[in-house]
């Protein structure tokens, strides 16, 4: 259940000031250099002023200066690990971005592929001026005031849980429960063979459940 870890990496050459204002923890401001990251515990909040805030400065108001990390399954990628997982970095633009979270439990894989958490962002507001009550940070005087931008991150009210299981084998089940010979007599060999052929045509069974993020 909530909250959930979300890793934010600063990509601005000027550094970033990040905070996560909410009712669970005290308001603190963290300074990140270019390439540094921190992990916040995020969840859905009813207050639009709660959530992750990132401050930096740039002459271009649409320049992203931070990224969100997701564990994506890309087995054919050159940068995938031995389990086929890639840490995918998604830009965070100034303004408000709403994130959908997907959690995958894959019982057909091992290592990093067995459990993955992904975030998919949608820009919902391009207002990038600082809202003081939504951040625990204050831009330093050395930053040009006209270039200071704020990016805000909110989690959607619900998220998806996907469970991937191995295909079910009717013949294996019957063999284990009552013996294949007895099963063939009791249930009919043709029906069992057909059901097993049908299940084998599916690479796996997938279950998708929607759960609240608050």
DSSP notation for 170-207: HHHHHHHHH-HHHHIIIIIHHHHHHHHHHHHTSS-EEE
Q: What is the mean pLDDT of the chain?
A: 81
How does pLDDT run across 51-68, given as a tens digit for each residue? 999 999 988 877 888 999
pLDDT (0 to 100) of residue 108: 85
In this structure, the chain runs to a length of: 214
Range in 84-88, 116-120, 129-133, 168-172 the model is least confident about:
168-172
Angle (CA) 55-125-138 rounded to 5° is 20
pLDDT confidence of residue 55 = 95
Q: Is the pTM of this model over 0.75?
A: yes
Q: What's the whole-number mean pLDDT along residues 98-121?
A: 90
Token reading at 77: 């990628």
Distance CA 4, CA 101 (A): 9
Residues 164-176, mean pLDDT to the nearest whole number: 58
Q: Do 122 and 180 contact (CB within 8 A), yes or no?
A: no
Residue 170's pLDDT is 46
DSSP per-residue letters across 136-180: S----TTS-GGGEEEEEEEE-SEEEEEEEEPPP-HHHHHHHHH-H
CB-based contact 35:84 (threshold 8 Å): no
> For residue 58, which of 146, 151, 134, 152 has the smallest C-alpha distance?
146
Q: Is 104's pLDDT higher than 80? A: yes
Distance CA 76, CA 34 (A): 29
- Helix count and strand count (H, E) for the chain: 3, 12
């Amino acid at each position: 259940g909530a909250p959930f870890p979300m890793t934010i990496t600063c990509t601005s050459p000027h550094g970033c000031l990040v905070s996560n204002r909410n009712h669970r923890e005290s308001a603190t401001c963290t300074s990140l250099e270019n390439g540094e990251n921190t992990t916040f515990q995020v969840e859905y909040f009813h207050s639009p002023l709660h959530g992750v805030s990132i401050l930096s400065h740039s002459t271009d108001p649409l320049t992203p200066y931070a990224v969100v990390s997701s564990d994506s399954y890309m087995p054919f990628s050159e940068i995938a690990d031995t389990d086929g997982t890639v840490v995918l970095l998604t830009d965070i633009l100034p303004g408000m971005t709403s994130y959908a979270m997907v959690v995958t439990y894959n019982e057909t894989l091992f290592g990093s592929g067995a459990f993955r958490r992904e975030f998919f962002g949608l820009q919902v507001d391009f207002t990038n001026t600082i809202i003081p009550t939504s951040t625990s940070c204050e831009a330093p005087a050395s930053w040009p005031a006209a270039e200071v931008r704020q990016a805000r991150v909110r989690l959607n009210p619900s998220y998806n849980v996907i469970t991937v299981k191995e295909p079910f084998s009717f013949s294996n089940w019957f063999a284990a429960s009552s013996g294949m010979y007895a099963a063939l007599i009791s249930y009919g060999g043709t029906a069992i063979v057909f059901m097993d052929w049908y299940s084998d045509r599916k690479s796996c069974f997938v279950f998708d459940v929607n759960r609240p993020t608050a």
